[in-house]
Structure 1
C-alpha cells in the first residue's frame, strides 16, 4: 500500500507484446495481481481481459473474460472494465500491488490520465470517483526492441490492428510509450546481427526521450527475474514522472536531457517572441517530418491570440492540437488558480503588450540538419510589417488549423481534452 492507503500500480508498455509480457510476468510475486486487456480484436468490439492473481500464500488464480463492447475504442475498454476492476482489486486484502500489462496499441499516458480523471460511477458499495482515489500509479516501464524500435519510431506506418477512426501512427505510439516511462527495458538482440553504431544511436535517442529513466538490457540468454525487476524499480529516481500527465505549459526539456550531439542524434530548440503566420506555419510543418524522431512545443498562432496551440509529432506524423489559455488572456482571478511555478516563469519573460505569449519547440532529430528546421520555423513567424499591423490584421489571416473535434464516445473524456486534435500531417 502507498502511504495514503492507495494500492500501487505499475504499468508495463511496449510495441512488442512478447517483451512486454516477459517484463510484466517478472513483476508477479506473492501479493501482486497482473491485469492484461488484449485489444487486438477491438475492431470486432471484443476485448479479452486476463486477471492473474498470486495471493500472499503463493496460490495463483487466473480469470479470463471476453468482453463485448458497444464501440470499438480504447476509451470504452477503460470505462467498461479496467477502471472499475482497479477499484475492486483495491478492496482485496490479498492484493498488495497491481501490474498493468498494456496492449501494444495502448499509451500509458492516456491510461494514467483516465485513472486520475475519469469518474467511475454506479458501482454498488463505492462512491462515484476516479480509480485514482483507490490506486496510485507508482511507475511506468517501457519495453524497447533493440533491433526494431528506432525504425518504428522514425517511420510513418499506421498503427497495425487499429480501428478505422484511430489516426495514430506506429511512431506516435512508440515515442509516447518511451517518453512517459520511468524505466526502460531494452530487449537486446544477437550482437552478431546488429552494428554497434545502430545500438549506440538507439541509446542516444532513448537518453533524450527519457533522460532520467534507468535502463536495463534484456539479453537473449538472460531472462528477466523478480530480483532484476526489483533492482530496476529501486533505481527509479524520486523525481520520476510516476503517472503525472504533463500540461502544455510545462517545461519541454523536463529531466535535463543531454543537449550535445551523439551519433547524429541531438535536440534542436526553437524559441520566438513573435507569433506564427498560420499558413506559413502549415507550410513549414514539412520540415518537422524528415529525419525527426519527435517534436513537441507550444505555439503562438497570430490568428489564435487566446490559447497556446500544442504541437506533437513522431517520425513522419505530426499534429497541432488545442492547448491551454495564455495567462495574458485570463482574468486576474483566473490566474490565481494556475501553477505558481508557471506564473513565476512567465513573469520573467512578460511582455508589456503580449504578456506570456511565445512559441517554444523542441525537436529530436536523428539526422544532423537542425539548421533547416530552425530556418523553416523562423520564416513562418510574422515579419516586421505584419507585427506592426497588430491583432486587427492578424484576425484576417486564414488558418488551416481547425479547432473542432468530436470524441468517439461523447460521455468519456479520453484522451485529455487539453490535447484535442486539430490537424494531422503525414510524411508523403
Structure 2
C-alpha cells in the first residue's frame, strides 16, 4: 500500500518547507492540500502538487457551511484516488494552518490507508509567542468553521504534542531557551531539522526510505504511526506527560499529590495558576466530585477544565475488563491504598517559572488536615465551585 504522511502546523512557512523537503527527497511523491481560507466564498480549494508544481486544483463545496466537514468528506476519496494504482511512492497530506492532526490521522487510518507518519512543522523561535497567544482563531482569520472557538495557543499546543515527529525550521532568531522549551514540551518527539541532509547528500529512490541518515525527514515520515497509541498518549487518564526538567532558563514542574483539592480554594486560584506557566496540563480531582477525573489544559492564559470520565477506582470490578490495558496500567502506576488512582498530576512548563511560589499555591488549594480527616461524606458537602465551569 502507498504510504501516507500527515504534515501540519500553525507555523505555515515551516510547514511548507517541510512538505517541499519531502517532495524533493521522495521523487514522485505528491502533496494533497485543502485550503480552508476560501471558506468565506462557500468552498474549500483542493490542490495536488509534486516537486515541479501544481498538478490539479479544484473547488469543493462546503458541507453544511463547515469547511472542516468538506475536508473530511473529500480527503479520503481523494487519497484513495491518488493511491489506487500504487504508482505514487508517497502522499503527503499538508494540513491547513489550524487543522489539528489527530482527526485527520484517525480518518486516514480508519479508511484502511497506510498512515506512516504524522509531522508537525515548527519554527523554534515562534514556540513561546504562539503558546502565549490567547487570541481566538476567528479573530486572526484562522477559524476552521463558524463555530470554531479555539485559540491560537491551545491549537498550537495540541498540534505540537500529538505528533511524534517535529520538523524544525532553521531560525537565526531561536536561542537555547527556545530549544529547551520545545524539548520540555514534547520530550519524546523525534526532532528533525528540515534542512538536514544525510551523509551522502543524495535522495535515492523510495525503496531506500529506511536508510538511516540519507534523508532524515522522509525517513521519519515513513517510519510508521500507531493511531491508538497516539490517542492514548493524549488522553487525560493516561497522558504521557513531561518529566521534571530545568535547562536554559526553562523549567518543568511535575506536581503529584493524592489528597483532593478543596473546590472553592482551587477555583479562587485558577487565574493565578493558569498564568503561572506558558503551558500546563494534567489530571486532578476535587473533594466534592471524587468519582470524576478532571482534565486540566492551559495555554495562552486560558484554561479548559472538563470531565474525562470516571476514575478507575470508582468503577465496579466487572467494568475493568472493558477498559483498555493502557488505561489500567496508568491507574496501577498511580494507585493509592485509600484513593485508588485518584490523584493530582499537573505539569507546568515555562521560562522563568516561579517553582516555589507555584508549589505553595497548589498546596494551599488541597484539603487541610482537619478537612481531610472529616472524611468523604463531609467532603461532598463542601460547596461546589466548578458547576458553571463544568456546565453541570
TM-score (norm 2): 0.82
Structure 1 residue aligned with 2:104 = 111
Structure 2 residue aligned with 1:417 = none
Note closer, same or farther for the CA distance 1:266–1:401 as it changes in structure 2 (3 Å cut).
farther
Structure 2 counterpart of 1:12, from 4, 7, 12: 7
The count of corresponding residues between Structure 1 and Structure 2 is 370
User: 2: CA distance between counterparts of 1:21 and 1:239?
Assistant: 22
Structure 1 residue aligned with 2:184 = 208
2:305 maps to 1:320: yes
Structure 2 residue aligned with 1:136 = 114
Q: Do the aligned residues in 1 keep the contact of 2:131 with 2:154 (CA within 8 Å)? A: yes
SS in 2 for 1:105: coil
Question: Greater helix share, 1 or 2?
Answer: 2
- Give the Å deviation of 1:13: 1.4
User: 1: CA distance between counterparts of 2:36 and 2:203?
Assistant: 27
Note closer, same or farther for the CA distance 1:27–1:327 as it changes in structure 2 (3 Å cut).
same
Structure 1 residue aligned with 2:169 = 187
How do 1:267-346 and structure 2 match up within 5 A? 267-346=252-331
User: 1: CA distance between counterparts of 2:349 and 2:226?
Assistant: 20
User: 2: CA distance between counterparts of 1:63 and 1:320?
Assistant: 44
SS in 2 for 1:250: coil
Q: Which runs of 5+ in 2 are unaligned?
A: 196-200, 205-212
Q: Do the aligned residues in 2 keep the contact of 1:297 with 1:361 (CA within 8 Å)? A: yes
- Give the Å deviation of 1:25: 2.5
Q: Segments of 4+ in structure 1 off by > 6 A?
A: 236-243
Q: Do the aligned residues in 1 keep the contact of 2:30 with 2:92 (CA within 8 Å)? A: yes
Note closer, same or farther for the CA distance 1:261–1:239 as it changes in structure 2 (3 Å cut).
farther
Deviation string, structure 1 residues 72-117 (Cα, Å, up to 9, x no partner): 545413432123433444433223432111111111123224445x
Q: Which runs of 5+ in 1 are unaligned?
A: 2-6, 117-129, 405-421, 424-428
User: 1: CA distance between counterparts of 2:94 and 2:214?
Assistant: 14
Structure 1 residue aligned with 2:207 = none
- Give the Å deviation of 1:335: 0.5
How do 1:11-410 and structure 2 match up within 5 A? 11-28=6-23, 29-52=26-49, 62-73=55-66, 75-116=68-109, 130-131=110-111, 134-159=112-137, 160-161=140-141, 162=143, 163-189=145-171, 191=172, 194=173, 199-218=175-194, 230-234=215-219, 244-245=230-231, 246=233, 247-253=235-241, 259-347=244-332, 349-396=334-381, 397-402=383-388
TM-score (norm 1): 0.75
